[in-house]
Amino acid sequence: MKAFTYERASSPAQAAAIVARTPGAKFIAGGTNLLDLMKLEIETPTHLVDVNGLGLDQIEPTPDGGLRIGAMVRNTDLAADMRVRRDYAVLSHALVAGASGQLRNAATTAGNLLQRTRCPYFYDTNMPCNKRKPGSGCGAIGGYTRQHAIIGHSEACIATNPSDMAVALRALDATVETIQADGKTRSIPIADFHRLPGDTPHIETVLNRGEMITGVVLPKPLGGVQLYRKVRDRASYAFAIVSVAAVMRPDGGSRVALGGVAHKPWRVEAADARLPDGARATTAELLRGARPQQENAFKVILAERTVAAVLAKAKA
Amino acid sequence: MKFETAATTNPIDQLKVVGRPTNRTDGPLKTTGRAPYAYEHQVAAPNQAYGYVVGSAIAKGRITKLDVSRAEEAPGVIAVVTASNAGPLKKANRNTATLFGGPKIEHYHQAIAVVVAETFEQARAAAGLLQIEYAREQGKFDLEASRASATDPKKITAGASDTSVGDFEGAFAKAAVKLDATYTTPDQSHVMMEPPATIATWEDGNLTVRTSHQMVDWARSDLATTLGLEKEQVRVITPYVGGGFGAKLFLRADVIAAALGARAAKRPVKVALQRPLSVNNLVHRPATIQRIRIGAERSGKITAIGHESWSGDLPNGKPDGAVHQTRLLYAGADRMTRTRLAILDLPEANAMRAPGEATGLMALEIAMDEMAEKLGLDPVEFRIINDTQVVPDVPAEPSSDDPQARSDSGGTDEHSAKELRFSQRHLVECLRTGAEKFGWSKRNKIPGQMREGDWLIGHGVAGAIRGNKQMKSAARVRLDRGGVVTVETDMTDIGTGSYTIIAQTAAEMMGIPIDKVVVRLGDSAFPVSAGSGGQWGGNCSTSGVYAACVKLREAVAQKLGFNVTDAAFEDGQVRASGRALPLAQAARDGELVAEDVIEFGGVTEESEQATFAAHFVEVAVDAFTGETRIRRMLSVCDCGRILNPKSARSQVIGGMSMGVGAALTEELAVDKRFGFFVNHDLASYEVPVHADIPHQEVIFFGDADPMSSPMKAKGVAELGISGVAAAVANAVYNAVGVRVREYPLTMDKLLAGLPQIA
Amino acid sequence: MSDDRFLPVSRRGVLATGAATMAVSVTPAFAQTHELTRSRSSAGKPSMAKVSFQVNGEPHSLELDTRTSLLDALREHLELTGSKKGCDHGQCGACTVIVDGRRINSCLTLAVMNEGRQITTIEGLGSPEAMHPMQQAFVEHDGYQCGYCTPGQICSAVAMLDEVKAGVPSHATADLTASPKLTNAELRERMSGNICRCAAYSNIVEAIEEVARGAA
């Protein structure tokens, strides 16, 4: 871990300004992903701005009947919030499907959105990785690819986004709120927040330098049956091989998103419309154009079967 | 003391302390965080500097440039040690790969430098400043591709590499029912929770290492050899070991790095191998390809059984002994085994919990399940039909030119002069007891037919055998005037419960309560014990303590004027011919000290000694996704007298859980281009977590075996893993109807056989 | 089987691929850029920062290298070595401590981020002479073997029971709107962030269940 200086920010705007003007500066919130990566020198910030303690730890109703989740709300607290459990169950389910009790107590909403891939070639600094070191190549292609993307990837990168929470937020059409160095705020639809790798896999979100997430807004409750199904090898404390977030509404407007298959939470609006036709039709639309690796081709079938499991459970 | 004839009645048979479920004596220290592990001896070795190990970035080749100047200039750095300034280093015979590499690189993450600094943070940061360039050489990393070039290693750990009894090929060809199947097991990692760690201190040319090791004397010898020291110049201290499972049997890089770092820094240096380095830096259980052929009569009687195995290792390395148990477990007149070893440039392959049996039974016990199905027999019954009380294949001596020589005359003929019997074998009873307790008769009998909601339910069984090996073991016992008995032996407690069973042994022998016994372990200043490995530690180390206590009893009796053969040691007193004196009185003029070593021979060699088990497993497989979850587990174990049922049960459930990992998730993924294990951390190498393991049942058959030792005990810890993975695999087959012969049984291998979805 | 399509570049240097005797092939421009980035970020002295917190009820003020994890602050600066370093990456749970009543992995938080916090470690729960009920239950049920994950298991278990009392749901909670019950499945799911390679799991669960029954 490289040496870094440390300071506690006094306001979101100040934090954004510091990071924008200080080369090598980064925000730190829960620290559960950033410190992991700093120990391996995958992340090498020279200055850390601690954004805990800025009052961004509240969950409040919005005027139009939704919820605003502060960026620093811990994953545990978000999952346990009775409004979330009642009206956004898919989010609560997704959160508790991730990581461990200890990690969820530290990890934040913003940090969860920004967590980086678990690709082992990204994690091993002896290996080529375009995400870690642009231009060095992709070590994963042709290597061990069980966990990797089957759709939306590029010749430069086949990594997946490991977040469970983000898949649920995608199904809910959440909005990410940010503040920039100049104090301006903006709202970014979750669909636009994460990028596909293309030939710049090291750029993972649309955030600008110094732009800080202040919260996530959930639209007014969708109702319906909300499910999150995470498929993994061991029963807990493991990243998804495939996951499905679904909001099933009897009167239409159902939606489904996949995790574990792409560089971002994967949702295709056209697939939502196929939900009444069953898992096969829905998944065919979701994964149209999928190009799996040899080792992870099973994810296509697994995704279809997991969607089927979710549909069956929603009916029951 | 020599143990050469079967044990008769002795003080252990009182079973006042031994054999009782006993809380671990080290429990209060461990559960309150006060037990000091290797990295935590801060007071004993003050002024410590921190070492950080750098591993090779390539699997095979040479370092062409290693510039340490920037690291040396970094804040806080005291020394940087590489091959160029480490001084001469030899390799001990027990290591296959060099522990401190460079310029030649033998495997990925081989240690090539240690950076020593004032703080951990400084050492870690400076390690990133080394400028290293490599010339990579082409290596071999693919076992399947190297299978054809594999050679005969001449021997495996437990015997000859090729064995043959009768005419296997002929008998197999003639058999009414046949199976010829190939199974694969992947590379696996021990991943004990405490990474290897060492604090090294030099004083007047002598080296003390506070480390984490299973075998104190091996570590001491091999450290001396590696550094060119006399053994007497080295002291090894390892009172608490945070797990090993074989990874801490042999000297590791942390010890060398700490020793070299401390010599360069001229002060104590501590090193813990960082977790992401550990998998490729340490040894691993090698992958195997196993071909099994079984021929049987329609009645179910096996007539031919053959087992071949291929594994890989670095040059001059060792094969996995996967075939060995097939020589012992089931009857069958005509039989063969064959072992081949390929050269691979992956990290060093070596022992991991039940080496040989763990992999071999993963294959053999699926094969037995497949045969039972072909025969239309219940898999429990099929195993019972083929039980044998006689070794069906007299073990060939590695030195023998003709491994067949001893068995050609009659195979299993019970009148044969060369017949070798098991000292005890209750496999049939284990199977029957287990079947009854588990409710085997109510199992799913047709694969894929039992369903509860979204879950497909299946049941599986496996038999198991694991050798019971004896190793000589010494101990010293002291009696002080307070009546406290102190035991000193270099035995280690790696979670096995050594502290407690040794205390129980001394308490039983001296007739005192366990809280009057102090046990001091893990120090090369103490007499050399059997150490912890091969599941021999419990039986052998307590036998060494028994021997020393026999001597102490003699000394006590003499001091008190008793004839030792008449004296009873009980309730803190020594009684004979109507007189009773306090034990403590024997030490009134000063401490009494006795030391002895137990050595084995005779009866232990004239019988085949092994432990047996039957494992029963119920699984549920998600009908949509193929995720397998364990619902019930029962193991019935035949492993001699149980010294402490509480800690023995723990050993077995630990093995059962590791077997679940082996069955369902554990696989080191090989990158065949770069030549390394890709998933080298605890997030990506998935071992079972709480949610994977249900309540587990263990039944000990518990018959004391007088042929094994004066303790009449046997190994326990490795029997617990042997066969379990196959029981899981058989249960998965039973649930789904898909036979997977490639471990681990991940969902992708089951998807094609799952019920159609709507 | 090296594959010449790859020109793997190490963090610390450049690897040459291909045949056994091939010389090192370096791409100088790339290497130089790489070096510059690194030297800028690492040349300086360690940055020190002050932090004050309470550990097991006792106040501590430390001046630490900012890189010091809470775990290393406890183990290396306060000599509280009960909290274990199993992986240092949040993948095992051996470092679990309780901060302001909540269990966290102390390896994945900087010491300086814990200003003003109340930290409870395994040493603070009890001592060999006066064990916490959870520690006692682990001894009674043999809920450990090598003991290395044990302090983390125990800290985790103590805080986990409070989480259930507070109604925090888990992956094993079917009905999110009801209060979670401490079933076997719930308990195992909630403890899954603490890996025990010795696999004392079955016994650990019994120990925790006993404490939960006693506390109820």
Q: Does C22 touch chain B if contact means CB atoms closer than 8 Å?
A: yes
- pLDDT at B246 exceeding the cut of 50: yes
CA distance to B6, B421, B605, per residue, from B602 (Å): 9, 14, 5
Question: In the complex, which subunits touch C with 3 or more CB pairs below 8 angstroms?
Answer: A, B
The pLDDT of residue B139 is 97
Q: What is the pLDDT of residue C13?
A: 37
**What is the DSSP secondary structure assignment for residue B103, as one 8-state letter?**
S
pLDDT digits (tens, 9 = 90+) for A230-278: 999 999 999 999 999 999 999 899 999 999 999 999 999 999 999 999 9
d(CA B475, nearest CA chain A) in Å: 43
Of C12, C19, C185, the CB nearest to B131: C12
pLDDT of amino acid A257: 98
Contact B627 A41 (CB under 8 A): no
pLDDT over 60 at B387, yes or no: yes
pLDDT of B718 above 50: yes
pLDDT confidence bin for C216, thresholds 50/70/90: low
ipTM over 0.90? The verdict is: yes
Per-residue confidence band for B106, with pLDDT thresholds at 50, 70 and 90: very high
Q: Are strands B2-3 and B592-600 parallel, antiparallel or unpaired?
A: parallel
Q: Are B248 and B281 in contact (CB under 8 A)?
A: no
Single-letter amino acid code for the residue at A19: V
Q: Name the average pLDDT for chain B.
A: 96
Mean per-residue pLDDT, A43-61: 97
Which residues lie across from A213 on neighbouring strands?
A: A178
B599 assigned to active site: no
B475-523 tens-digit pLDDT: 999 999 999 999 999 999 999 999 999 999 999 999 999 999 999 999 9
- The predicted-structure confidence for B282-337, as pLDDT tens digits, reads as follows 999 999 999 999 999 999 999 999 999 999 999 999 999 999 999 999 999 999 99
pLDDT of residue B459: 98
3-state secondary structure (DSSP) of residue B52: strand
Confidence of residue B402 (pLDDT cuts 50, 70, 90): very low
Reported confidence tier of residue C198, pLDDT bands at 50, 70, 90: very high
Do A237 and B629 count as a contact with CB atoms less than 8 A apart?
no
What share of chain C in percent tops pLDDT 90? 77
Give the pLDDT mean for C85-96.
Answer: 98
Indicate yes or no: CB of C193 within 8 angstroms of CB of A50.
no
Supply the pTM of this predicted model: 0.95
Query: Cβ of C11 and A135 within 8 Å?
Result: no
Looking at the complex, does the CB of residue C198 fall below 8 Å from at least one CB of chain B?
yes
Contact A306 B625 (CB under 8 A): yes
Interface test with A, best of B108, B118, B625, B674 (most A CBs within 10 A): B625
What was the pLDDT predicted at B412?
Answer: 39
Residue of B nearest to C132 (CA): B32
- Look at residue C119 and tell me whether its pLDDT is greater than 50: yes
Can you tell me the mean pLDDT for A130-134? 98
Residue C15 has pLDDT above 70, yes or no: no
- What are the tokens at B303? 């007539």
pLDDT value of position C48: 97
- Over 70: is that where the pLDDT of B626 sits? yes
Closest-CA residue of chain A to B675: A143
pLDDT of B394: 75
Gap from B677 CA to chain A (nearest CA, Å): 10
- Which residues of A fall below an 8 Å CB-CB distance to B? 1-3, 39-41, 118, 120-121, 123-124, 126-127, 139, 142-144, 146-147, 231-239, 241, 278-280, 298, 301-302, 304-306, 308-309, 311-312
Rounded mean pLDDT, B180-185? 98
Least Cα separation, residue C142 to chain A (angstroms): 24
Element (H, E) at B340: strand B334-343
User: What is the average per-residue pLDDT within B30-58?
Assistant: 96
Q: What residues in B contact C146, CB-CB < 8 Å? A: 192-194, 240-244, 494-495
Q: Could you say which of A31, A125, A142 has the minimum Cβ distance to residue C110?
A: A31
Partner residue opposite B625 with nearest CB, options A41, A239, A305: A305
pLDDT in tens, A279-316: 999 999 999 999 999 999 999 999 999 999 999 999 98
Which structure tokens are listed for A24? 């090598």
Question: Helix C133-140 and helix C201-215: axis angle, to 10°?
Answer: 140
Q: How many CB pairs under 8 A join A and B?
A: 107
Confidence of residue C27 (pLDDT cuts 50, 70, 90): very low
Q: Does C105 touch chain B (CB under 8 A)?
A: no
Nearest to B34 among C67, C82, C138 (CB): C82
C148 with B194: Cβ contact below 8 A: yes
Percent pLDDT > 90 in chain A is 99
B398: left (phi over 0), alpha (psi -120 to 50) or beta: alpha
CB contact under 8 A, B747 and A241: yes
Complete domains list, chain B, with CATH? 2-35+471-600 (3.30.365.10), 38-138+198-275 (3.90.1170.50), 143-189+284-373 (3.30.365.10), 421-466+609-753 (3.30.365.10)
Please give, rounded to a whole number of angstroms, the shortest distance from the CA of A52 to a CA of chain B.
Answer: 24
Q: Which of B169, B570, B718, B742 is catalytic?
A: B718
Q: Indicate if the alpha-carbon torsion angle B440, B443, B445, B448 is positive or negative.
A: negative
User: Are C169 and C180 spatial neighbours (Cβ–Cβ below 8 Å)?
Assistant: yes
**C95 at the B interface (CB within 8 A)?**
no
Question: Quick one: tokens of B114?
Answer: 């240690």
Sign of CA dihedral A109, A111, A116, A118: negative
Query: Which chain C residue is nearest to residue B22, measuring alpha carbons?
Result: C140
The number of residues in chain B equals 758
Q: Which chain C residues contact residue B142 at CB under 8 A?
A: 1
CB burial of B211-238 (b: ≥16 within 10 Å; e: otherwise) equals bbbbbbbbbbbbbbbbbebeeebbbbbb
| pLDDT band, residue C2 (cuts 50/70/90) | very low
Closest A-chain CA to C9? A128
Q: In this structure, what token pair is assigned to residue A235? A: 């029963």
- Predicted confidence at residue B43, as pLDDT, reads 87
Q: Which residues of A touch B757 (CB under 8 A)?
A: 279-280, 304-305, 308
Chain C contact set for B42 (CB, 8 A): 79, 81
pLDDT attached to residue C44: 57
**Structure tokens given for A213:** 């997430």
For each of the domains in chain C, give its residue range(s) and CATH number, in order of start: 48-215 (1.10.150.120)
Min Cα distance C167 → chain A (Å) is: 7
Share of chain A above pLDDT 70, in %: 100
Tokens of B62: 């040479």
Q: Does A144 touch chain C (CB under 8 A)?
A: no
Looking up tokens 């039972």 gives B372
Cβ contact (<8 Å) for A143 and B673?
yes
Nearest CB to B650 within list C26, C44, C142: C142
B 3-22: CB under 8 A from C: none
- Yes or no, beta carbons of A3 and C88 under 8 Å apart: no
Euclidean distance between the first and the last CA atom of chain B, given in angstroms as a whole number: 72
B248-270 mean pLDDT: 98
Q: A305 in contact with C at a CB cutoff of 8 Å?
A: no
DSSP string, B4-34: -S---S-GGGG-SSTTS----TTHHHHHTT-
Residue to substitute from C15, C113, C175, C186, interface A, most A β-carbons within 10 A: C113
Token pair listed for A297: 């081709």
Q: Residue B680: helix, strand or coil by DSSP?
A: coil
